[in-house]
C-alpha cells in the first residue's frame, strides 16, 4: 500500500479519467505536497474549537468574525469644570445665551460712555500699541470714539472717526437681533444673506481705508484720528 494514495479508510481516491463505480461517492484526489487535514470536532479531546489566529481585515476594512479586533480605549472622563459648564448649558433657559451676549454689548457701551474717549489723551490707557509705537492709525483706531458719538446721536462726528464702523452698525445690529430673537423667542426674521464676494469687498475696503487714513497728504489728513 506504499505506492497507493488513500484519502479515506474505506475507499481509494478516484483518479482523473477513472470511472466512478455505482453507489460510491467521488472523492477528490490528494494534492501532492499538501499537508494533513485538520482534525474535525470529534477528534478534539475536549470538543473545544481551537482559537482562530490573526486574520487580515476584509476589503471594506471590516474585521472578519473570529479575527483580531482593535484595542478598545476607555473614554476620558471630563473634569469638574467641564461637567459644570455642560450641566449649566443643559439646564439654562433658551434666552440665557442671547442675554449674556447682550450683557457683553452693554458693558462695551457703558465703558465708552464712562471713559469718554473724546476727552482722553492719545496715549491714555488702554491705548493702541500700533499708534503708541509708530504714530499710525490701526484699522480699529477711532472705533471707541465713533461709538461714543453714535450713542450721543452725532453720526457725522462718528463717521469722521471711523466711517466703516458706522456703516456696518445697522447690519451688525440686525444680525444680532435676528440671532437673539431666534434663540430666545423662536422668531423667524428674514435672513440677511451676505455672499463671500460682499465680505471680501468689505474687507478690501477696510484695508484700503486703513492705508488711506495714514497718508500725509490732503485730503487724506482729515481722516487721521
Rounded to whole angstroms, the Cα distance separating 194 from 116 reads: 34
Residue 61: CA count within 13 A, CB half-sphere: 0
Rounded to whole angstroms, the Cα distance separating 93 from 98 reads: 10
**pTM here?**
0.56
Rounded to whole angstroms, the Cα distance separating 79 from 117 reads: 43
Domain borders along the chain are 87-223
Rounded to whole angstroms, the Cα distance separating 119 from 126 reads: 14
Per-residue tens of pLDDT for the chain, all 225 residues: 444 554 444 555 555 555 655 555 555 555 555 444 555 555 445 545 455 545 555 555 555 555 566 667 677 788 888 888 888 878 878 888 888 889 999 998 998 888 888 887 655 666 777 777 888 888 888 888 999 999 999 999 999 889 899 999 999 999 999 988 888 888 888 888 888 999 999 999 999 998 988 888 888 888 888
Q: What is the DSSP string of 10-35?
A: SSPPPPTTPPPPTT----PPPPTT--
55-63 long-range contacts, CB within 8 A, separation 24+: none
Q: Output DSSP code: residue 92.
A: S
At 96, is the secondary structure helix, strand, or coil?
A: helix
Amino acid at each position: 500500500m506504499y505506492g497507493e494514495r488513500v484519502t479515506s479508510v474505506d475507499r481509494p481516491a478516484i483518479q482523473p479519467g477513472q470511472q466512478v463505480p455505482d453507489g460510491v461517492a467521488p472523492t477528490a484526489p490528494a494534492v501532492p505536497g499538501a499537508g494533513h487535514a485538520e482534525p474535525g470536532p470529534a477528534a478534539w479531546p475536549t470538543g473545544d474549537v481551537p482559537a482562530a489566529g490573526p486574520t487580515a481585515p476584509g476589503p471594506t476594512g471590516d474585521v472578519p468574525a473570529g479575527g483580531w479586533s482593535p484595542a478598545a480605549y476607555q473614554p476620558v472622563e471630563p473634569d469638574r469644570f467641564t461637567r459644570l459648564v455642560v450641566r449649566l448649558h443643559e439646564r439654562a433657559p433658551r434666552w440665557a445665551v442671547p442675554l449674556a451676549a447682550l450683557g457683553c454689548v452693554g458693558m462695551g457701551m457703558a465703558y465708552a460712555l464712562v471713559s469718554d474717549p473724546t476727552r482722553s489723551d492719545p496715549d491714555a490707557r488702554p491705548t493702541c500699541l500700533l499708534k503708541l509705537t509708530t504714530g499710525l492709525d490701526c484699522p480699529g483706531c477711532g472705533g471707541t470714539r465713533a461709538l461714543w458719538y453714535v450713542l450721543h446721536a452725532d453720526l457725522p462726528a462718528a463717521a469722521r472717526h471711523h466711517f466703516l464702523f458706522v456703516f456696518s452698525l445697522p447690519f451688525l445690529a440686525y444680525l444680532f437681533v435676528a440671532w437673539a430673537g431666534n434663540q430666545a423667542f423662536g422668531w423667524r426674521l428674514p435672513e440677511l444673506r451676505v455672499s463671500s464676494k460682499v465680505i471680501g469687498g468689505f474687507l478690501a475696503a477696510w484695508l484700503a481705508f486703513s492705508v488711506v487714513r495714514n497718508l500725509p497728504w490732503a485730503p487724506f489728513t482729515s481722516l487721521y484720528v
